[in-house]
């Protein structure tokens, strides 16, 4: 941990170790909400086969100026420390083998305010009615230096997250009992006009 923190000094010596970088889309969304609230350096482990995706995710949602640290094979012979933005680190890493640690500095910005991939695609397509989704993805890929296939993966993840949230809200509404219909009281029936009695001949 000391090696990892050397790249980003902890504020007041405080940091939070949060285990492995979140796996599910829901957990990652919660992380975006949690980071500004923590207000301190956060540290994660990450598996080599998932590091590229984790850095893509951070590239999309962290402020562009934020610099992180990625450590590979800490305390071992082939220990390597990368510093920079997620994009810069993606360009520097030559091997996705071994154990990795991601260190994120204190975040103060509201990360949920950052544009989602879906919003970025919508903006690109609104520039020209003839623009297809494929062309929009290609444009975003060039802007963010992320392969198109990974842009699509992030987009699909966002859609699954939205669907899960809608389903959760639907289940919540279904579980809420509907208000009982007002029962008819005697006073209600007595106030009704009486039927006219038949006239005698």
Q: Which position has the higher pLDDT, 174 or 86?
A: 86
Share of the chain above pLDDT 70, in %: 79
Specify the residue for token string 């038949």. 198
Location of each CATH 3.30.950.10 domain in the chain: 2-112
Q: How far apart are CA 94 and CA 51, in angstroms?
A: 12
What is the Cβ-side half-sphere exposure of residue 46, based on CA atoms within 13 angstroms? 25
Q: How far apart are CA 105 and CA 35, in angstroms?
A: 9
Residues 6+ apart with CB under 8 A from 59: 85, 86, 87, 90, 144, 146
The pLDDT value recorded for residue 141 is 86
CB 158 within 8 A of CB 25: yes
Q: How far apart are CA 82 and CA 86, in angstroms?
A: 10
Q: How far apart are CA 87 and CA 85, in angstroms?
A: 5
Q: How far apart are CA 8 and CA 28, in angstroms?
A: 22
Residues 6+ apart with CB under 8 A from 102: 21, 43, 44, 45, 46, 51, 54, 55, 58, 68, 69, 70
CB 117 within 8 A of CB 37: no
Its CATH architecture, for the domain 2-112, is 2-Layer Sandwich (3.30)
Q: Residue 190: pLDDT above 70?
A: no
Q: Residue 194: pLDDT above 80?
A: no
* Average pLDDT of span 177-196: 50
Q: How far apart are CA 138 and CA 69, in angstroms?
A: 28
Looking at the DSSP bridge assignments, the partners of residue 14 are none
Specify the residue for token string 């994009």. 87
Strands 80-84 and 100-104: unpaired
The pLDDT value recorded for residue 18 is 92
* Average pLDDT of span 29-40: 86
* Average pLDDT of span 171-192: 59
Q: For all residues of the chain together, what is the average pLDDT?
A: 80
CB 103 within 8 A of CB 42: yes
* Helix H or strand E segment including 69: strand 68-72
Q: How confident is the model at residue 75 (pLDDT cuts 50, 70, 90)?
A: confident
The pLDDT value recorded for residue 177 is 61
* Average pLDDT of span 108-112: 74
Q: What are phi and psi of 158, to 5 degrees?
A: -60, -45
* Average pLDDT of span 165-181: 74
């Amino acid at each position: 941990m000391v090696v990892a923190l050397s790249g980003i000094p902890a504020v007041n010596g405080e940091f939070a170790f949060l285990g492995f970088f979140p796996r599910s889309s829901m957990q990652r969304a919660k992380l975006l909400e949690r980071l500004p609230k923590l207000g301190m350096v956060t540290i994660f482990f990450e598996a080599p086969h998932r590091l590229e995706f984790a850095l893509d995710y951070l590239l999309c949602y962290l402020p562009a100026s934020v610099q992180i640290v990625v450590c590979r094979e800490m305390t071992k012979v082939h220990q390597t420390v990368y510093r920079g933005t997620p994009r810069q680190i993606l360009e520097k890493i030559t091997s996705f083998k071994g154990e990795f640690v991601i260190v994120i500095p204190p975040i103060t910005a509201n990360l949920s305010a950052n544009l989602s991939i879906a919003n970025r695609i919508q903006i690109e397509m609104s520039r020209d009615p003839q623009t297809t989704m494929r062309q929009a993805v290609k444009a975003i890929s060039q802007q963010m230096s992320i392969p198109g296939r990974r842009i699509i993966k992030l987009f699909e993840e966002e859609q699954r997250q939205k669907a899960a949230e809608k389903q959760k809200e639907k289940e919540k509404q279904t579980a809420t009992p509907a208000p009982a219909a007002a029962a008819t009281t005697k006073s209600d029936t007595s106030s009704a006009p009486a039927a006219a009695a038949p006239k005698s001949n």
